[in-house]
Amino acid sequence: MIEWIIPEELAGSRLDAALAQHLRQTSRSKLQTWIKAGRVLLDGTAERASTLVAPGQRVTIDPPEAPAPRLEALDIPLSVVYEDDDLLVIDKPAGLQVHPGAGEPRPTLAHALVARYPNWAAPGSPERPGLVHRLDRDTSGLMVIARREPAFQDLVRQIQRRETTRRYVALAWGTIREPSGSIDAPIARDPGNRRKMTVSEKGRPAQSDYRVLHRFDWLTLIEVSLRTGRTHQIRVHLAHLGHPLFGDPTYGRARVWLDRIPPARRAVLTDRLRRLNRQALHAYHLACRHPSGGGNLRFESPVPADLDQLLLQLRIEESSG
């Protein structure tokens, strides 16, 4: 049984939409099925999915018994930063997908978690055990994973209430002139390509803050802080700003940028793109409140070798003039 109080920020939302915000690991269609089956009560009464909710209303959810995990346990090495009975913090390498997806049969972090905890009654959905947030496959860095249901619900609430801190280091195309700024642009699924996201007035609210760390020739190193956590948020927001991520195969517009650059520098940056072979994005800082009242947790991850080598080469080229 799950109980939840509707917060102020979801006032006027449909019941199914509010639930989707709270139970992010459960699809909206599944939530609608639960509502129709009477497994969701609003102030003790079964309502329709379209019912509009108000702050302070109590939602009681009686989900059906979870099926046994279907994922195969795969012994994939994990870089564990912290672990206790409630949660696990890992430093995910670039190239490791977080959970299975359509057309992606490769081993994932979720498979590794099932192997690490063979008798685990994992919170969340069987395909996304314990995952309260995610990183794109080719983004490296820190992730927190819940090991128990109460911790899962608490960490999800912290993210929804913007009580967690997630900071990234990113290398973007072009020269970002302002020393810092905010990008407030809603994000939705791209109607022309379901694998992509796009800025759209019909999208969900999305906010990112950035500050410039260093300006290279044709590139800018920045820190990005998330105030929301939409799919591909940093990648979409930086592309919307006109400074997409260096190495991003989906939103990076590398050819457009390379065509602007003098031939000698173009050849160098083309080689740098080839050697990096992924988007230049690393989740280096993660802070949250321990779900069992153990105080505040704060973790930092050094820039991984591939990105560190790229930045070193850029600094050497800069100093040599």
Is 62 among the residues known to form the active site?
Answer: no
Mapped onto helix, strand or coil, the DSSP state of residue 242 is coil
How many Cα neighbours within 13 Å face the side chain of 78?
26
Instruction: Say yes or no: 103 and 214 in one domain.
Output: no
pLDDT recorded at residue 102: 59
Q: Are 152 and 144 in contact (CB under 8 A)?
A: no
Alpha carbon distance 112, 110 (integer Å): 5
CA distances from 140 to 124, 156, 167, 280, 285 (A): 23, 21, 12, 9, 11
* pLDDT interval class at 220 (50, 70, 90): very high
For residues 167-194, average pLDDT: 95
Instruction: Say yes or no: 29 and 170 in one domain.
Output: no
Instruction: Say yes or no: 181 and 264 in one domain.
Output: yes
Lowest mean pLDDT among 31-45, 213-227, 284-298: 31-45
- Length of the chain in terms of residues written: 321
Is pLDDT above 50 for 172? yes
Alpha carbon distance 285, 143 (integer Å): 10
For residues 150-166, average pLDDT: 92
Strand duo 140-146 + 207-216: pairing: unpaired
* pLDDT interval class at 69 (50, 70, 90): very low
CA distances from 75 to 108, 110, 118, 181 (A): 10, 11, 11, 42
Instruction: Say yes or no: 258 and 199 in one domain.
Output: yes
pLDDT, tens digit, for every residue of 262-283? 999 999 999 999 999 999 999 9
Kindly report the CATH number assigned to the domain that includes residue 265: 3.30.2350.10
pLDDT recorded at residue 66: 57
For residues 40-59, average pLDDT: 91
For residues 56-83, average pLDDT: 84
Q: Is 299 domain-assigned?
A: no
pLDDT, tens digit, for every residue of 97-126? 999 875 556 789 999 999 999 888 888 888
pLDDT, tens digit, for every residue of 83-96? 999 999 999 999 99
Alpha carbon distance 237, 217 (integer Å): 22
Alpha carbon distance 252, 219 (integer Å): 12
Instruction: Say yes or no: 315 and 208 in one domain.
Output: yes
Kindly report the CATH number assigned to the domain that includes residue 32: 3.10.290.10
Mapped onto helix, strand or coil, the DSSP state of residue 151 is helix
Provide the domain limits for residue 39: 2-61
Q: Is 288 domain-assigned?
A: no
Number of domains observed in the structure of the chain: 3
Instruction: Say yes or no: 130 and 234 in one domain.
Output: no
pLDDT recorded at residue 105: 64
Rounded to 5°, angle at Cα 153 from 77 and 169: 50
* Domain end position, chosen among 61, 85, 106: 61
Q: Are 318 and 309 in contact (CB under 8 A)?
A: no
Instruction: Say yes or no: 178 and 217 in one domain.
Output: yes
User: Which among 16, 91, 136, 138 is annotated as catalytic?
Assistant: 136
Instruction: Say yes or no: 143 and 194 in one domain.
Output: no
* Domain end position, chosen among 15, 40, 61: 61
Instruction: Say yes or no: 234 and 277 in one domain.
Output: yes
Q: Is 54 domain-assigned?
A: yes
Instruction: Say yes or no: 56 and 96 in one domain.
Output: no
Q: Is 296 domain-assigned?
A: no
Q: Is 276 domain-assigned?
A: yes
Q: Is 184 domain-assigned?
A: yes
Is pLDDT above 60 for 68? no
| Summary mean pLDDT of the chain | 91
Q: Is 36 domain-assigned?
A: yes
pLDDT recorded at residue 78: 95
Is pLDDT above 90 for 30? no
Is pLDDT above 60 for 67? no
Instruction: Say yes or no: 103 and 78 in one domain.
Output: yes
* Domain end position, chosen among 46, 61, 76: 61
pTM of this prediction?
0.79
* pLDDT interval class at 260 (50, 70, 90): very high
Instruction: Say yes or no: 87 and 142 in one domain.
Output: yes
For residues 186-198, average pLDDT: 90
Question: What are the tokens at 60?
Answer: 């009681």
* pLDDT interval class at 71 (50, 70, 90): confident
pLDDT, tens digit, for every residue of 3-29? 889 988 888 999 999 998 888 778 788
58-67 burial, b at 16+ Cβ within 10 Å, e below that, comes to ebebeeeeee
Q: What DSSP string describes 28-77?
A: HHHHHHHHHTT-EEETTEE--TTPBP-TT-EEEE-PPPPPPP-PPP----
